[in-house]
A and B are shown apart, each in its own frame.
Chain A
């Protein structure tokens, strides 16, 4: 699934780095705990999180994440958006809860990490 398709499914807005239409997302992982994110391979994975700060961006950078879905209507500040652009990470902002986002993406065929 493309980043734009995911954004459409969760009624989200794309911010940070522009969406790469050639990047295919196959899996998702939902967590607000950054050390848990750092434990797994994040290939072809979207991180779904309610944690919206620079730490989200740094963790994503170390994990080689290309796309992060911020739920619960959290608003990234200027610093975070700038960091996302620098790190070439696309952010999708959604008003939905993490549970609702996860349900929608699971129903649409996105796979869990485990």
Chain B
């Protein structure tokens, strides 16, 4: 099954709608709660990053019997130092983003922890594509 969602730049009011929709689908499919939780936590963090740090983008989710693959692709600005970005507590979040409860610098580490495979392709000035896989077996 394939699902896709658009992410709008700076639209915090709707942030989480894609993750929410995926959560409902997985529940419907009878995926076990622990796997649902790690899937939606990872997707939610990536969705927030595309809204908070980038200029919006697109989410593609593929679900089959064995795994869930989620691709969150945004349109810039890219991540200059990925090693730094992956560190717990590192954040360049703006004061507005912090006021909304984000910017703890735990998003990428959370994604890493909750997925079985994480691939981040990023080019400064172009964009970032985060590919996350959760194995269901």
Using a CB–CB distance below 8 Å, which chain A residues touch chain B?
Answer: 32-36, 38-39, 51, 53-56, 58-59, 61-64, 79
A55 near B102 with CB under 8 A, answer yes
Q: CB within 8 A of B37: which of A34, A36, A58, A62?
A: A62
Q: How far in angstroms is the closest Cβ of chain A from B63?
A: 17
B106 near A38 with CB under 8 A, answer yes
Q: Does B7 sit within 8 A of A, measured CB to CB?
A: no
Nearest B residue to A64 via CB reads B37
Question: What is the bound-complex CA distance between A58 and B15, given in angstroms?
Answer: 8
Q: Mark B18-34, 1 if CB is under 8 A from A, else 0.
A: 01100100000000010
Known interface pairs A35-B107, A36-B106, A39-B106; A62-B41 also in contact (CB < 8 Å):
yes
Residues of B within 8 A of A59 (CB): 16, 44, 101
Nearest B residue to A54 via CB reads B13
Nearest A residue to B44 via CB reads A62
Q: Mark B79-105, 1 if CB is under 8 A from A, else 0.
A: 000000000000000000000111111
Residues of A within 8 A of B16 (CB): 54-55, 58-59, 61-62
Question: What is the bound-complex CA distance between A63 and B11, given in angstroms?
Answer: 21
Nearest B residue to A79 via CB reads B13
B23 near A62 with CB under 8 A, answer yes
Q: Mark B36-48, 1 if CB is under 8 A from A, else 0.
A: 0100110011000
Residues of B within 8 A of A62 (CB): 16, 19, 23, 37, 40-41, 44
Question: What is the bound-complex CA distance between A33 and B99, given in angstroms?
Answer: 9
Question: What is the bound-complex CA distance between A34 and B45, given in angstroms?
Answer: 10
Question: What is the bound-complex CA distance between A64 and B40, given in angstroms?
Answer: 10
Q: Does B75 sit within 8 A of A, measured CB to CB?
A: no
Nearest A residue to B20 via CB reads A61
Residues of A within 8 A of B35 (CB): none
Q: How far in angstroms is the closest Cβ of chain B from A45?
A: 13
B45 near A55 with CB under 8 A, answer no
Question: What is the bound-complex CA distance between A62 and B36, given in angstroms?
Answer: 9
B37 near A56 with CB under 8 A, answer no
Candidate in A38, A39, A63 with the most chain B CB atoms within 10 angstroms: A38
- 22 A-B interface contacts by CB (under 8 A): A33-B102, A34-B102, A35-B102, A35-B104, A35-B107, A35-B110, A36-B104, A39-B106, A39-B110, A51-B100, A51-B101, A53-B101, A54-B15, A55-B12, A55-B15, A55-B102, A56-B101, A59-B101, A61-B16, A61-B23, A63-B41, A64-B37
